[in-house]
Amino acid sequence: MKGLRNHYRASMPLPEKLSKDLLGLLGDGMRWLKNGGRLPRIITYPDYPSKKTTIYKIAKELGFRLSNKPLSTSEAVLFFEDKTTKSSAEDAFLRRQKRVLNLKCTDISKVKVDEVHQTIFNYNTFVNPATHQGKAVLKSDENAMHDGKIIECPQENLPSNKVVQVVIDNTVDTDTVMDYRIALIGNQLPVAYKKFKSMEKRFTNDVHRSELIDLHSFFSDEEQRLILAFAEAMELDFAEFDVLRDNLSGKMYIIDVNTTPYGPPAELPEADLSRAVKALSKAFRDLISTPDN
């Protein structure tokens, strides 16, 4: 599993590990030059991010080395474990660090998200399937399963690992739904997107169009305050939220929290992709430059 520069999955062939190490070392030279003879580092631990992740793109934009090895010095340590409930928060390496981003957020299940949503917004998404009348959404409590489906209630004896939520009308026409994706870095909401999906793929991550948007044009100052309050209650430093707005009530719902997010989203125009990564990178630099109180 161990390489020279990173910890890789156990099943990775040795030649692939060596090639990744070699490419990484060559990249370090470019990063060293970009930073005036310094090689700043971000440690993501315990997982190493894929190239599709937001943090990978931030590190590339900033010219920072990215590693999941427990190095002795770094500009930032990010608790990065791609699980719904995190088991590695008690790891000795993490506990030795003065500051670890996201360390206290160890549960991003639907149950946890809904519980905090109720506390902050005074309304939530969950319904009791045994008493609810009409349509509802059945989905896994685990994060990123993308297995939602519409059911008719009342129903009993549903699987214990599933949750039942209200159907949120986020349609833009008869064939299309639209989700918002909002990034959180520290106490900033640096970027937001619209993600358009076909009706038949509304519960998947299969996006056919994305837009970079001005958050202030779609969310009020009070809603932004509540999003930040939600993030604080979840003990988050770095995340992205999936948000839906119901056409009938006008209410916004945070339906998913992503602490190892892939982003910016697919099908975003190249110019907007560049703008988004620059905004995310600036917010991340601001965060790691601010003393931890």
CA dist., res. 265 & res. 255, Å (int):
17
Query: Which residue matches tokens 């994305």?
Result: 210
* Residues 132 and 273 grouped into a single domain: yes
Domain endpoint, select from 96, 122, 146: 96
What local confidence, expressed as pLDDT, does residue 168 receive?
A: 97
Q: Regarding predicted confidence, which is higher, 215 or 91? A: 215
Helix (H) or strand (E) holding 32: helix 14-34
Using alpha carbons, list the distances in angstroms from residue 30 to 11, 66, 120.
29, 13, 45
Number of domains comprising the chain: 2
Asked if residue 26 has pLDDT above 60, the reply is: no
Is 260 in contact with 101 (CB distance < 8 Å)? Answer: no
Helix (H) or strand (E) holding 47: none
Is 151 in contact with 137 (CB distance < 8 Å)? Answer: yes
* Residues 282 and 169 grouped into a single domain: yes
CA dist., res. 102 & res. 252, Å (int):
24
CA dist., res. 140 & res. 232, Å (int):
25
CATH number of domain containing 166:
3.30.470.20
Query: What single letter denotes the amino acid at residue 141?
Result: D
Is residue 5 situated within a structural domain? no
Domain that holds residue 44: 14-96
Is residue 38 situated within a structural domain? yes
* Residues 82 and 145 grouped into a single domain: no
Is residue 181 situated within a structural domain? yes
What local confidence, expressed as pLDDT, does residue 78 receive?
A: 97
Query: What single letter denotes the amino acid at residue 273?
Result: L
Mind listing the pLDDT tens digit for each residue in 158-171? 999 999 999 999 99
* Residues 89 and 183 grouped into a single domain: no
Is 287 in contact with 237 (CB distance < 8 Å)? Answer: yes
CA dist., res. 49 & res. 52, Å (int):
8
What local confidence, expressed as pLDDT, does residue 4 receive?
A: 61
Instruction: Return mean pLDDT, the chain.
Output: 90
Confidence at 3, pLDDT banded by 50, 70, 90: low
* Residues 76 and 159 grouped into a single domain: no
* Residues 140 and 224 grouped into a single domain: yes
Domain endpoint, select from 42, 74, 96: 96
CA dist., res. 31 & res. 16, Å (int):
22
SS3 171: strand
Asked if residue 8 has pLDDT above 80, the reply is: no
CA dist., res. 90 & res. 98, Å (int):
14
What local confidence, expressed as pLDDT, does residue 89 receive?
A: 79
